[in-house]
Structure formats: C-alpha cells, structure tokens
Structure 1
Amino acid sequence: MAAVTPKKKLFENFALVAKALASANRLELLEALAQGERGVDGLAQASGMSVANTSHHLQILRGGGLVQSRKEGTQVIYSLTDEKVLTLLTGIRNVAEQHLAEVDRIVRENFDSRDNLTPVRRDELLGLVRSGEAMVIDVRPPAEYDAGHIEGAVNIPLESLPERLSKLPHDQEIVAYCRGPYCMLAFDAVKQLRQLGYRARRLEDGFPEWKVDHLPVDR
C-alpha cells in the first residue's frame, strides 16, 4: 500500500474547511459573525436555531479553522478567525451566482425584482460621502452597529425608521446598508424612503464586504 503523500495530507485538511462550509446553517452563522463577535445565545437568536444546535455547528466551524472563541465570564464569545473567511464567503457567493442557474433565478425573482435602481458601489459611496452628497444609514440592530460600521453611518434600525424620518435630509441621497447583498433590511428601508419622497438607494452589498475592502470603519 502506497504511503500517504504530504500533498494528500494537505488536501485532507483543506477538505475540513470545505466540510465546515457545507451547511446552510453554518453559512448563516458565518454571516452573523461577519457583523462582529457574538455569544452562543445571540447567534442562536440570529439563526433561529436552538442553543444546542448552534453550539454543535460552531464546533464544526472551529474545527475547520473558520471561527475562534474566547471566554468572557461564563459566556463563550465567537468571532471569525480573520478577514480571509469573509473573502472565502464572497468567493463562494460569486461562483454560485455565476454558475448555478437556481441561484440566478432566486436572485432575479426575489431581489432584483424588488429594486430597479442600480445599487451604490462601495467606491461610489465613498465619493458621495466625501462630497457631502449622501447620508449613510445602517439599518442593522444596534448591537451589530456597535460592533463595527461604515465610518460616518447613522444607526437607524428598520423598525425605528418611521420615527426618525424628520431627521433625514431631502437635499441628500440616502444610502442604506445592512448585513450583505441579500439582507432584506436595506431593501425594505429604501422602499419605505422612496414611497415618502426621499432619494434613496442601497449599497451593493453590506458592512462585511466594506470592511474586507479596507474602507473606513468605526466602532
């Protein structure tokens, strides 16, 4: 029997990463952690899973080198191991969008159909903010905003939008963003704003993609 080569051993370890990613639930947990570190209870709430099931998936993600943990009192706090995980997630999404017909159909029917205006690119938004032509609103929950947000963005969670309308300018474009390109919070915020006469668009993706592009962020 031939000896296992070092290359074969490497591929076996690479497969651990692929195995850790091979679950819709675990991909959703990674999206939640891309907003900032969080405890198991918070991740269970964000994903709609039980605490026990969430912990099980987190152990698999940690075994694949995708997340890390630390103790804070009696809590275990999880975070992504580094920004390369975000790059990996973006790569998976891009391949699926370009080569899986079902993904293309879902995007067209459920996302593109909701918004016929071209989203704002990251570099475009940077220029609009620096020239004073746009106001940026972060429609994620406050805890996610506090963990990190686009520099200068104002936190207006979607459910708070109606009561904050008087603070929004009519002489600037309003750009909304949330967790990523398929986060419905930004779609819904932009729809509400347009119905009330505001000039509004959404960012092409979300805070994690902005951060991994090394654009200005605040905490």
Structure 2
Amino acid sequence: MMEEAKIAELYKEQLFLQYARIGKCLSSERRLELLSLLSNGPKAVETLAHQTGMSVANVSRHLQILLDANLVRFTKKGTYVIYCLASPVVAEFLASLWKISEHQLSDIPRLKQDINQHYNRVRTISKEDVQKQMEKGNLLVLDIRPREEYETAHIEGALSVPMEELDDYLQGLPQDTVIAAYCRGPYCVYTTQAVEHMQKKGFQAYRIEEGVRDWLTS
C-alpha cells in the first residue's frame, strides 16, 4: 500500500506540474493580449507587433513561450511566420478566463463603466434589434476590425470597413444611413470610438457590444 500511495502522490505532483505550465505561461499581460488577438484569426508576427506596439523580437519571445505551452502553432507563408491558436479549446478557455475575470475582479467592470462614461453619447443596440433591422433592410452593419479578422469570421451581412478606412467609406454614404458597428467584443474601445466619430459626422450610429464569437455562439 505504501508503494501505491507513492505512485499516486507522484502522479498528482506531475499532473499539477503540467497544469502549472499553462498558469505560468499566462502570467504575462502581453501574452494574454497576443492570445486575444489570435482568437480573432491567424496573424503574422509583424502584424502582432504592429497591433500591440511591441517590437518583432519581443513578440517572438512571447510567442515562443506560448508555443512551448502548446497554446499556439504556426505556419510559414513565404518569408512570413503566421501564428494562430493551437486549438478551438484554447479559444474556449480564453472566453472562460475573460468571463471569470469579469465576475471575480471588480476592477474590470469598473474599467468598462469608466469608458462608457467617457463616451456617454454612444448608444448600444441589442443583438435582437440588429437582426430585426437588418432583415428589414434598415440597418448597415460595419465590422471595423482588420480585414483578415473579418475574413476569418464575421456577422452575416456585415461589411468589412477597417478603422483606418472608415472616413473614406462614410463619404460615399447618404447622411440618413443608420449604422451599427462592432469590433472584438464588449471591452474593445475601438467600436465606441468609431461610433462616436460617426455620430460627429452626423450619422445615426450604434455600438454592437457582442464580438463575433459571442454573436455566433449565443
């Protein structure tokens, strides 16, 4: 029995050691940011560097740690190295992590509230209202994420208009066009900024709070 107990104890230690590999890997806010970006679709190292404001070398070091923990994988396309999440299970885990953090850490809802107060003129539209108005042809839905993220997955009927192309696109729209915009989810401030910008241009614009993953799975 003593031998069996030792085997059980050794097994338990090794098991939690493996779990800890994931925990240690996720202890960096920059690696969490990279995983969040990759949850929206595959990206080149250079793209990740641009979107995070990190150097290519720094991004590469973080990606290597994520790779060692088997949270990401990569392919090569010419001279570019393209990273993506290793499995849909990783995306599910990230969604659970965001949800747990929102429920257990009061600072996260407070940050969201602070942003909403700063952009207090920005109005939100529900998923149900979006669907109803799209069916009637009364609403234009814009996806303001980078185009490669749109191509990976998007709300059916939405048009891809990345943030940097928004002004040019708006110039060709009638002033009475009703617009709803979305980005990467409830904590993505780019949607709020885009809607405020459209309102200042005289458009009736709304913010869709759900991101693509929330939209497609709910």
TM-score range, shorter-chain basis? 0.7 to 0.9
2:186 maps to a residue whose letter is P
SS at match of 2:210: strand
The partner residue of 1:202 within 202, 207, 213 is 207
Between the two structures, name the one with larger relative contact order (CA 8 Å, sep ≥ 6): 1
The partner residue of 1:148 within 144, 153, 158 is 153
Q: Name the structure 1 match of 2:166.
A: 161
SS at match of 1:150: coil
SS at match of 2:203: coil
Q: Name the structure 2 match of 1:18.
A: 23
Identity of matched residues, %: 37
Distance 1:170 1:69, change over 3 A: same
Distance 1:192 1:127, change over 3 A: same
Rounded to whole Å, the distance in 1 between the matches of 2:154 and 2:32 is 21
Does structure 1 residue 193 correspond to structure 2 residue 192? no
Rounded to whole Å, the distance in 1 between the matches of 2:185 and 2:25 is 21
Deviations 1:1-32 (A, max 9, x none): 94444344332222222222221101111122
Q: Name the structure 1 match of 2:68.
A: 63
Q: Superposition pairs for residues 122-133 of structure 1, below 5 Å?
A: 122-133=127-138
Distance 1:106 1:198, change over 3 A: same
The partner residue of 2:103 within 88, 98, 121 is 98
Q: CA deviation at 1:75?
A: 2.7
Q: CA deviation at 1:79?
A: 0.5
Deviations 1:67-120 (A, max 9, x none): 111222333211012333222222222222222222232222124542466633
Q: Greater CA radius of gyration, 1 or 2?
A: 2
2:125–2:206 CA contact under 8 A, matched in 1? yes
Q: Name the structure 1 match of 2:94.
A: 89
Q: Name the structure 2 match of 1:217.
A: none
Distance 1:133 1:10, change over 3 A: farther
Q: CA deviation at 1:177?
A: 0.8
Task: Return 5+ residue gaps in structure 2 as ranges.
Answer: none
Instruction: Give the count of matched residue pairs.
Output: 213
Q: Name the structure 1 match of 2:43.
A: 38
Deviations 1:42-69 (A, max 9, x none): 1111111111211111121122232111
When the two chains are superposed, the root-mean-square deviation of aligned CA atoms in Å is: 2.6
Task: Return 5+ residue gaps in structure 1 as ranges.
Answer: 215-219
Does structure 1 residue 52 correspond to structure 2 residue 53? no
